[in-house]
Amino acid sequence: MSGGHVLALSGGVGGAKLAAGLAAVLPPERLTIAVNTGDDFEHLGLTVCPDIDSVVYALAGLNDTVRGWGVADETWQMMGMLRRLGGEDWFNLGDRDLAMHLQRSAGLRGGETLSQVTARLAAALGIGAAVVPMSDDAVRTQVLTEAGWLDFQRYFVGEQCRPVVRGFRFQGAEQARMAPGLAAALARVDLAAVVVCPSNPYLSVDPLLAVPGVRAALLALDCPRIAVSPLIGGQAVKGPLAKLIGEIAPGGEGNALIANHYGTLLTHLVIDRRDDADAEALRGRGLSVTVTATLMRESADRERLAREVLAAIGME
């Protein structure tokens, strides 16, 4: 694969699939994956970083492809006992997954930054690409609902996305500093592309863009900035995005909504074949549009899509 360094911006499950595809087709020293930490939270004394874990598990080949999140071959023995003990059981922590949270939390308590502990645990799982949090400072996504502000995991897991959403905020973002690995990737003279993975724009990518300096640095780049749309057939593949779009931006705009949302941050957009009808209007806005199959069921899909994304920006 020719060309320079690639910076991918990723949220959780959907983004992690493309991140894993990029990791499969690029040499490790040519890939930095900056991950949303707005979904992170403290639970049972553990620091849980769902999106970092999704990316790490996907890159390590440990992700559960059937359930769609968490670790393969997972068991739930701790949760069973936790319920007997009267513990908070609204958030499922698998037994294998717990090792990650325990190791991370012990590292953070011992003085490691989130960047350091993430790098150490990713390396232990044999991951060569740089997986970096967007920030080592706490940024916490909150969702404004009819019932007031809810912490993201309370909305997403606790309330199963039932409350109608009116807005978001990323607490701590204004004071957060870009993580060293993200700042370093943005400053590389050989940075050849930014790939916005097919993650939720509002909940997974916006927190990344809310970290001071990230948006300006992206806009100042003269390399291609390409997103894979998270929509297929005008709808989100899974997760709360489909419901959210109806609540935040009703009217069924499809990929125009994605293009509007990212604006001049994007030079290129990859959309699914089922949304081929969106292509002409998107091109009319000055975007370079690639139409292909964007659903990633298997690792072959992830790698093919990663290659097509890189090909779309001239990195064959």
- Give the up-direction half-sphere exposure of residue 68: CA atoms within 13 A in the CB hemisphere: 8
Q: Report, in Å, the least distance between residue 112 CB and a second copy.
A: 12
What are the structure tokens assigned to 218, written together? 């992206």
Q: Report, in Å, the least distance between residue 316 CB and a second copy.
A: 35
CA distance 65 to 71: 9
CA distance 261 to 150: 23
What are the structure tokens assigned to 297, written together? 């069921």
Residue type, 211: V
CB 104 within 8 A of CB 115: no
What are the structure tokens assigned to 141, written together? 């996504």
Q: Report, in Å, the least distance between residue 70 CB and a second copy.
A: 11
CB 36 within 8 A of CB 199: yes
Phi, psi of 116 (to 5 degrees): -65, -45
Closer CB to a second copy, 104 or 225, in the complex = 104
Closer CB to a second copy, 45 or 251, in the complex = 45
Q: Report, in Å, the least distance between residue 10 CB and a second copy.
A: 21
Q: Report, in Å, the least distance between residue 25 CB and a second copy.
A: 25
CB 294 within 8 A of CB 207: no
Closer CB to a second copy, 10 or 105, in the complex = 105
**DSSP code per residue over 193-236:** EEEE-SS-IIIIIHHHHHSTTHHHHHHH--S-EEEE-SEETTEE
Closer CB to a second copy, 20 or 98, in the complex = 98
Closer CB to a second copy, 125 or 184, in the complex = 125
Q: Report, in Å, the least distance between residue 104 CB and a second copy.
A: 9
Binding stretches for a second copy (CB under 8 A): 44-46, 71, 73-75, 77-82, 84-87, 94-100, 102-103, 105-106, 109, 120-121, 124-125
CB 251 within 8 A of CB 220: no
Closer CB to a second copy, 82 or 279, in the complex = 82
CA distance 228 to 290: 9
Closer CB to a second copy, 82 or 184, in the complex = 82
Closer CB to a second copy, 84 or 263, in the complex = 84
CA distance 163 to 143: 9
Positive or negative torsion for Cα 171, 182, 122, 73:
positive
